[in-house]
Amino acid sequence: MQGTAPSDAATYANPFELPEEWPAYGVGDPFILRWNGRYYLYPSTNTHFGGSVGIKAWSSVDLVNWRYEGLVTEDPVSRNAYAPEVVYWNGKFYLYTSPDGQGHYVFVADSPTGPFTAVTGNLGMTIDGSVFIDDDGTWIFTHAGHLGIRGRRMRDPFTFGPEQVVNSNLGGWTEGSYILKRDGGMSKVYWGRDS
């Protein structure tokens, strides 16, 4: 049996532009957080094309109609913030980004729209950091790397363990990591034997 779309379903067509996009750059490296019935979009910042310091955000209830939420941080360290990603944990929102691709910083806020404040110095690691929190509370951080995605188990939102090469490789520089749990699978699948 084939379903039909609800009569109030919204649609869109490319090119899809949002209000207040970064000049000549748009919304590169977008990340979407779903929290409390809303979606929050965070893109990279690129001052090379006339943008300013800070990370912008938009919100939506249907992934089609977006409202500009402003800058969620204007911390000077967020200049050219690559691929920001936000997770929610125990009443706080944690933002991970790699300004100028020169190592990751962790920011924290009480709201998905900030203001986010940097709470760590430069933690190293390359671009495109992504956080996965498993059902048992295990945290895993992955990021781009040569000859495969790199990963680290985390003790908490700020403490990263030793680097491991994750079983994901495009034959050279590999980026854009993201872990999605499917059918009850365990995070060990991505790490091999109990490493």
54-94 residue pLDDT tens: 999 999 999 999 999 999 999 999 988 999 999 999 999 99
Give dist(CA 80, CA 62) in Å, integer: 29
State the Rg of the chain over Cα.
17
Taking CA atoms, 26 is separated from 3, 32, 41, in Å, by 35, 15, 12
Could you state, in order of their start, the residue ranges of all structural domains in the chain?
A: 31-190
Is 30:57 a contact under the CB 8 Å cutoff? no
* pLDDT value of position 8: 61
CB atoms within 10 A of CB 134: 14
DSSP state of 145: B
Using the predicted structure, report yes or no on whether residue 5 has a pLDDT greater than 70.
no
- Say if pTM beats, i.e. exceeds, 0.75: yes
The β-bridge partners of 147 are: none
Residue range 30-44, pLDDT digits in tens: 999 999 999 999 999
Q: Name the CATH architecture for the domain at 31-190.
A: 5 Propeller (2.115)
Neighbouring residues of 10: CB distance < 8 A, sequence distance ≥ 6 = 62, 64, 65
Give dist(CA 137, CA 3) in Å, integer: 37
